[in-house]
Amino acid sequence: MNRPKIWEFYTHYKKWWRYEIVCIGKMKETKEDVVAYRALYPVTDLGEEFSEDPVFMRKLEDFCHIFPDGTSRFQKID
């Protein structure tokens, strides 16, 4: 997978939920690259304060992970 860019849209391999890339950042302590991505659906399992406009962070390496069967964790929507 290529490095995601802001404003691109992705789906998750499990449920095809849609996400928008907000930014690529860096963890200050570890210097690891991270992806901030916004869920484009209501999130109901993290409490009311996150249900309207949830933004998640994930290490870039994990976001771009490809499973042994060749499936990408997140797939870009063209």
pLDDT digits (tens, 9 = 90+) for 18-75: 999 999 999 999 999 999 999 988 777 766 666 677 899 999 999 999 999 999 999 9
* Domain total of the chain: 1
Q: Do residues 20 and 27 make contact, with C-beta atoms less than 8 angstroms apart?
A: no
Q: Do residues 59 and 32 make contact, with C-beta atoms less than 8 angstroms apart?
A: yes
Structural domain of 67: 9-77
CATH code of the domain containing 20: 2.30.30
In a domain, 3, yes or no: no
In a domain, 57, yes or no: yes
Question: What is the value of pTM for the model shown?
Answer: 0.84
In a domain, 15, yes or no: yes
In a domain, 4, yes or no: no
Q: What whole-number distance in Å separates Cα of residue 38 and Cα of residue 19?
A: 5
Residue 47: its pLDDT value, please?
66
